[in-house]
Amino acid sequence: MNTSEVAVLLKGDVLHRKSRRWAVAALIALLITLPAIIFIKPLWYQLITLGSGAFMLAAAAWALVMAAGPVAALVCAIVALFLRVEAGFAPRSRVRRFGDVLAIGGGLLISFTPAIAALYPPVKAVLTGYIAFRGLGQQYPLAGDPHGFWQAVASWLMGATVLATLATLYWRAKWHQCASSKAARCAETSPPEAESVVERAA
């Protein structure tokens, strides 16, 4: 077995380790951000006792943690989740079926959530007969402006379709990857079985 074959066999293990690192980063970002949000009043009372320069620096650092911390935790968690999904479809030394099911289920939920969320405005509009966008002159009641109403509904539906298509293409590629790997394993095991059948017949 050469070095390239070893690298292919261990690809799932490498992705799994990367997923754990990103998950740890998400946990660290969350642990830093939560106290800044939960203890907002005590921290503020401590800040106002500082001098002007120290107050500005501490307030800027606090605002940075509160603004960037949740985003960093969310991004790291999503990256960790999809690295774990990729590890589930890659060759590895150890199969973790329960973790694979959880990762794939979470990945499916995250993938199709934007498309499902984009369906809410048009469904609500059809039920209520009214749809609006932010800004002046962007209200479209069905009774008063049916053309604008259905145009707005169609734009939301097209957006949901695009998001669902992108998610479907990703998971379709994963399904084909899984099917091709199973076919390759079957092709590797079938020749010895055929030889044994020939030998027994002889």
Each residue of 50-70: pLDDT tens digit?
A: 777 888 888 888 889 999 999
160: containing domain? 101-202
Last residue of a domain, one of 95, 113, 137: 95
Co-location of 76 and 46 in the same domain? yes
- C-alpha span between 153 and 157 (Å, rounded): 6
Low-confidence ranges of the chain (pLDDT < 70): 1-10, 135-137, 181-202
pTM over 0.85: no
Co-location of 55 and 114 in the same domain? no
- C-alpha span between 200 and 202 (Å, rounded): 5
Co-location of 84 and 112 in the same domain? no
Co-location of 61 and 114 in the same domain? no
Co-location of 51 and 11 in the same domain? yes
E strand intervals along the chain: 130-132, 139-141
- C-alpha span between 111 and 178 (Å, rounded): 18
Last residue of a domain, one of 95, 114, 139: 95
Structure tokens at 166: 């992108």
Q: How many folded domains does the chain comprise? A: 2
